[in-house]
Structure 1
Amino acid sequence: VENLQSSKSTRATILVRLDTGGQEALQYQPGDHIGICPPNRPGLVEALLSRVEDPPPPGEPVAVEQL
C-alpha cells in the first residue's frame, strides 16, 4: 500500500497491489478503479434505524441526501 499524494495534500490516492491468484477473470489494468465499502457497525445501524419511520431492512443499501 502506497499513498500517491504529497504529504501536504488534503486528498488521498492509495496504490494497492492485489494478488489475483492467477484468476484470469480478475485482470486489472493501469487506471482501473475499485471501490471498497467497509461494513457499518451493527449497533450504529440499529440505533439509526430505530429513529426512522418505516425503516428499510438493516442489510439493505440506502442513499442519504442532504437537503
Structure 2
Amino acid sequence: MWGEVRNVIQGSYAKGVVFEPYSFHRFTREINSKNIPDEIAEEIALIPSEYPGFLVAIAEIKMKEKVAS
C-alpha cells in the first residue's frame, strides 16, 4: 500500500496540489517513522523536492532512526 500512497502524494504534489502548512502534525498520527518502510523512506529522502515537506520530514526521521540503530 505504501507504494500506491507514495505515488498518489508524489503525483499530486507534482501537479501543484498544496498541502496545509501543518499537515505534518495531523498526519504523524497515521504516517510516522514506525510504519513507513525503509525503502520508501529512502526513496523520499533521495528526492525530497518531489514530495511535500511533511512526508520528507517523516522519511528523514526514519533514516536518522535507522542510522542510530
TM-score under structure 1 length normalisation: 0.23
TM-score under structure 2 length normalisation: 0.22
Bigger share in helix: 2
- Structure number with the bigger relative contact order (C-alpha 8 A, sep ≥ 6) is 2
Bigger share in strand: 1
